Amino acid sequence: MTGLVFSAFSVVSPIGAGQQETLANLRMGHSGLTAKPLIPLPIAAYSGQVDGLTDSVLPDPWSAYDCRNHRLALRALLQDDLMDAVEGAKRRYHPSRIGLFLGTSTSGILETEQAYRHRDPVTGALPKTLHYAETHNTYALGRFVREFLGLQGPSYVISTACAASAKAFASAARMIDAGVCDAALVGGVDTLCGTTLFGFHALGVIAEGPCRPFDAERNGISIGEGAGFVLLERPHGGHHDRSIRLLGVGESSDAYHMSSPHPQGEGARKAMENALHAAGLCAEEIDYINLHGTATIIGDAAEDKAVSSLFGKTVPCSSSKGFTGHTLGASGVLGVIFGALALRAQFIPGSPHTRTIDPDFVINYQRIGQTASVRHVLCNTFGFGGVNCSVILGQAGE
């Protein structure tokens, strides 16, 4: 497909800030899910919180953008030398030739929830401190990141539920292939808020206790928050044999149901087939699959059928939701970054909280992390509305 290379990538999630801390916790199997949710629910729910966001307000001149989502975005931008890489790309091309393609589902909606609690008791007016365009609006994330980094290229934010930031990779690759830009910053940010916590609880899919992907007794999701960014470019002299390469992206639509996946996983399988075709690989060449694996009864079962029908029963698979919770609009980029770390470290993460794998499942699900030879990784992300996206990564030396 593209052969685009990760010039830099950064990550912040409940298991750490930056690649080093994140990989260390993946290796040790340490989960970031806790029983102290930011917003309590009427069940014993766990969530994946990033520490310190409540008090770390954005400094001037960014105060109008201040909200939990942008505080997390800023923290991720400052990790893993990402800023230096972006500055290098700006010098190499021009800020107008660097695109920005992001995904989110919540944006800064928590800020609006708080504003509604402080409406004028007489008029019902929202407080003047609410900056809708800079915080609540879906493009607020793109506007903040674009201005903070001084980028001038094409920029937009995708909001296709949980597949949003995975689909941003497809958009970036198409824009670079079309010559619209020379490099692209791809990413996603999503934070906890009452809308998602109570919304998923109302749907009956929030787990009591921590989520347990692919477990026989799984009972729903734990919601988490996270942020990740990847700078994509064509290969140049600054890259090396271990640089992570974007080999292919596959997309599909179930066209089946607004909130349930196709029970046989037909749409998910089509996205994986499209990703393999784009990468020029066959199923036997995939060494690890980072599953969507949210720990819902129906979702995990559909993904088991989709994966086993295409890859058989031997490819090692695991879901990272037991580490971070389901980070919704950021889950795509986090899954891709966990896949990149698996390639770098030659390590397949396990699945904390999963105790007994559902005996009805046939894929090779990994409860315990292990060292392995990993040449190609496939990362799955599926969202409400039947939106499916699969991303395949390799290393430049392959």
Structure token digits, residue 357: 């794998």
211 flagged as catalytic: no
What totals of helices (H) and strands (E) does the chain contain, helices first? Answer: 11, 17
Could you tell me the end-to-end alpha-carbon distance of the chain, in angstroms, rounded to an integer?
Answer: 15
Sequence-ordered alpha helix ranges (H) in the chain: 19-28, 68-77, 82-92, 109-116, 140-149, 164-177, 194-202, 266-279, 297-311, 321-324, 331-345
Three-state SS for 56? coil
User: Pairing mode, if any, of strands 370-371 and 316-319?
Assistant: unpaired
Structure token digits, residue 361: 């499942």
User: Pairing mode, if any, of strands 364-365 and 316-319?
Assistant: parallel
Structure token digits, residue 209: 């206790």
- Determine contact, residues 8/18, Cβ cutoff 8 Å: no
Place of tokens 């729903």: 220
Whole-number Å distance between alpha carbons of 327 and 324: 7
The one catalytic residue among 70, 262, 292, 353: 292
* CA 68-222-157 angle, 5° bins: 45
The one catalytic residue among 162, 211, 317, 379: 162
Residue 323, exposed/middle/buried by CB under 10 A (0-12, 13-18, 19+)? buried
Whole-number Å distance between alpha carbons of 45 and 358: 22
Whole-number Å distance between alpha carbons of 199 and 193: 10
* CA 247-14-394 angle, 5° bins: 15
- Determine contact, residues 352/43, Cβ cutoff 8 Å: no
The one catalytic residue among 326, 353, 376, 379: 326
Whole-number Å distance between alpha carbons of 117 and 123: 13
- Determine contact, residues 344/350, Cβ cutoff 8 Å: no
Annotated active-site positions, please?
162, 292, 326
